[in-house]
Structure 1
């Protein structure tokens, strides 16, 4: 009977546990190839693999294409047979020296106990993976003829590798984005190599939703995966990268190794094209305020200084079709230098000086849209069209959980939300333009008009205004000032999608709604006609200069009645907004406030014209 003996934590892992105040726990790593890990090798279509080069720099690569290319041989040994890039793959070069001229086979035997290696067998469709570490026993590289239906045979480079597995550990599926993998032939071309990112490397990282990393100590290696939304790895400069460490299983094996040895090897695959970016460099682990200073919204991050990177075109033996992203992916956390609003808020706010907002009124306008009124003790200074950042963590943060399938997005949620202030200023110094320039006193109240789309807004919709809900006010910001065209200069047009109309509300008092200097084009779902009707009742005259595009069906009698009321006040068409609706109009300035998809489409229609919009994607 075989049994598994747990591994002790290394000194670096223990440092990470102390730094992050992780409760005592056993290391679940097995000192052998477990049956579960062996089974995973047989079913996984991909294998991320890491080793060290002659300068002791870690590199990572990605092999495979279909299940069965890597499998247990018995006795803790594992065999891998895969097509590889024998010329530019740094791991292949480190293991067997690369392909020889003339296609002759080349075999490398283990010396001094074998070269340190580590692997990650991974199935992106089932979201399962297993880590292994051990030593290289032997490797052979040779050219082989590969048959392709309907074509002549193609010569490819094949690697055969035997490793002795000394450790294994199953990993959670938390941030695995699904891809359906299929084998493909290689036609590798080294596009760039150097100490800084090329244009191609920058583009690949900017769209990547995963990468693989290798770390090492004097006697151990680790290969793992990091995933998130596309662009979650941020480019600080052509020589520096940064990424947030999301809430995970709290073992911190990769970061523990980096505590002892900051060197790291990364690979970014392009599943669509087969291109690949290899990087080796050095890291700095950032925690707490250091992490949030670089990547606001993060309490743990890794900064990477690139030593060498290689971009290889069609250097992967597989292709992948993107399927479902991980439900645990948070929003992209941009750098403080990229204008991340949380950076400005955290630098100007301390808990001791932070204000609170008291919910005093809730008005349901549609099944998914409501207006909330808050009062602020001591008052609040803001300008019309700005946003306010509110902190709901005291109400919603329940502490650490590894997985939470009923609400996966909440595990990396700081529960800070920004909402457009939709109320007009009560005091504007008498100039009537709503810009607050003449404001001598702080506002006692503010309103937000929002759609129910997630945990925080869902929580707000459940609240009773008499319950005394208080939330933290982190600050206000942004600038989205809307103006009418001047007399004789045509008109300015505001294009809104749904609740994207809210920045307009606080500024209507300063607009010319009578003489044709302003127009609203508003795309609204049929079920949200209640918002449209409420808007036209609150702001008389706005309907006369508005064109409303109703989409979807509003078949209920009540909604149909509202629709008829709206038609009596504004030009209403029951279809999507189209290119010709925008392009036939002449405007001095276009204001666009809509979701990312609609905004991209509309701004594309308006190429070459003056367009003003604020990015509300945070």
Structure 2
């Protein structure tokens, strides 16, 4: 379990020790705390979107995209944020966000500035949306974040939700072309939402029910991989930056450690596709200079 003196649980520590990065993780871990600093509060107030991860009423993990006019996410104190509104109709986390006491992980990512901030805690519904009592707040470096310009928003007109048990051929092509996705994972002491980025093709579709991607070197915290050490549930979110569409996947993930690096293998159990889920429209990307070349196989 995490403590005040150690922000990592046993799963993250096991991965850090396996890879020999505990000292680096200890140094970076000093930035993790429950408090929302003034600069973090200002950053949140400028964001038009927030990604949230949580388990639904059946225990399945999902990542969802929330959007609104800047200010729809705001710090309401040194250890809490308020979110106005909620996910689009038909989103798998609608019921969870209307229930008090659910663990959630959030990530505010700004493609315009390649900055991101993560806040994990416990959610409770309000008359206008929900609040999150913060337990972990921290920023990450801009590694593997693609830069995009925010174009003029369009009226929100989410299309009919399409549900399935495996990826359709069009969804497979969409995933293969992705340069960014979000992943939600959980442990006994909380939920986390994180980002993965790379050049198009860094996510491979090996069957209608399986994806895999190389785990690029990051901040050495290994919060996602640490959670998966003890709980394989995961929820993925892919965003169509040009149309506002979203593809949400739930299933299980495992880490394969090899001489050439780490590979994550994700098994799809359910899919939710929502055309035009977001009113936001973004430009074509300027890829991060940190993105490695895409390997032919992982």
Per the TM superposition, whether the score is higher than 0.5 is yes
Q: Distance in 2 between matches of 1:192 and 1:131?
A: 29
Task: Check conservation: 1:65, 1:319, Cα contact below 8 A.
Answer: no
Number of paired residues? 290
Q: Could you say which residue in structure 1 is the equivalent of 2:20?
A: 21
Task: Check conservation: 1:118, 1:134, Cα contact below 8 A.
Answer: yes
Q: Distance in 2 between matches of 1:260 and 1:132?
A: 21
Q: Could you say which residue in structure 2 is the equivalent of 1:133?
A: 120
Q: Distance in 1 between matches of 2:132 and 2:22?
A: 35
Match of 2:93 among 84, 91, 94: 91
Q: Could you say which residue in structure 2 is the equivalent of 1:333?
A: 295
Task: Check conservation: 2:97, 2:124, Cα contact below 8 A.
Answer: no
Matches within 5 A, 1:87-126: 88-96=90-98, 110=100, 114-126=101-113
Q: Could you say which residue in structure 2 is the equivalent of 1:42?
A: 45
Task: Check conservation: 1:200, 1:311, Cα contact below 8 A.
Answer: no
SS in 2 for 1:258: helix
Q: Distance in 2 between matches of 1:268 and 1:73?
A: 29
Matches within 5 A, 1:493-572: none
Offset, 1:242: 0.2
Matches within 5 A, 1:183-202: 183-190=153-160, 192-202=162-172
Offset, 1:191: 5.4
Match of 1:237 among 207, 210, 235: 207
SS in 1 for 2:273: strand
Q: Distance in 2 between matches of 1:264 and 1:84?
A: 19
SS in 1 for 2:70: coil
SS in 2 for 1:322: coil
Offset, 1:73: 1.1
Q: Distance in 2 between matches of 1:42 and 1:328?
A: 28
Q: Could you say which residue in structure 2 is the equivalent of 1:253?
A: 223
Match of 2:198 among 228, 233, 236: 228
| Structure having the higher Rg | 1
1:8 equivalenced with 2:1 (yes/no): no
Match of 1:213 among 183, 195, 208: 183
Match of 2:135 among 158, 166, 187: 166
Task: Check conservation: 1:45, 1:122, Cα contact below 8 A.
Answer: no
Q: Could you say which residue in structure 2 is the equivalent of 1:453?
A: none
SS in 2 for 1:203: helix
SS in 1 for 2:224: helix
Task: Check conservation: 2:64, 2:87, Cα contact below 8 A.
Answer: no
TM normalised by structure 1 equals 0.45
Q: Could you say which residue in structure 1 is the equivalent of 2:174?
A: 204
Q: 1:2-47, CA deviations, whole angstroms, 9 ceiling, x for partnerless residues?
A: xxx6543200001101221224242231133333332221122321
Q: Could you say which residue in structure 2 is the equivalent of 1:494?
A: none
Task: Check conservation: 2:35, 2:78, Cα contact below 8 A.
Answer: no
Offset, 1:315: 1.4
Offset, 1:76: 1.7
Q: Distance in 2 between matches of 1:224 and 1:249?
A: 12
Q: Distance in 2 between matches of 1:160 and 1:275?
A: 22
Q: Distance in 1 between matches of 2:5 and 2:114?
A: 25
Q: Distance in 1 between matches of 2:69 and 2:140?
A: 20
Q: Distance in 2 between matches of 1:204 and 1:66?
A: 27
CA RMSD of aligned residues (A): 1.9
SS in 1 for 2:156: coil
Offset, 1:285: 0.3
Task: Check conservation: 1:7, 1:30, Cα contact below 8 A.
Answer: no
Q: Distance in 1 between matches of 2:126 and 2:265?
A: 34
SS in 2 for 1:189: coil
Q: Could you say which residue in structure 2 is the equivalent of 1:71?
A: 74
Q: Distance in 2 between matches of 1:201 and 1:315?
A: 16
Cα pair distance change 1:300/1:308, threshold 3 Å: same
SS in 2 for 1:180: coil
Q: Could you say which residue in structure 1 is the equivalent of 2:241?
A: 271
Q: Could you say which residue in structure 1 is the equivalent of 2:36?
A: 33
Q: Distance in 2 between matches of 1:271 and 1:129?
A: 17
Q: Distance in 2 between matches of 1:183 and 1:201?
A: 24
Q: Could you say which residue in structure 2 is the equivalent of 1:404?
A: none
Q: 1:579-600, CA deviations, whole angstroms, 9 ceiling, x for partnerless residues?
A: xxxxxxxxxxxxxxxxxxxxxx
Q: Comparing both chains, which one has the higher relative contact order based on Cα–Cα distances under 8 Å and sequence gaps of 6 or more?
A: 2
Q: Distance in 1 between matches of 2:82 and 2:287?
A: 31
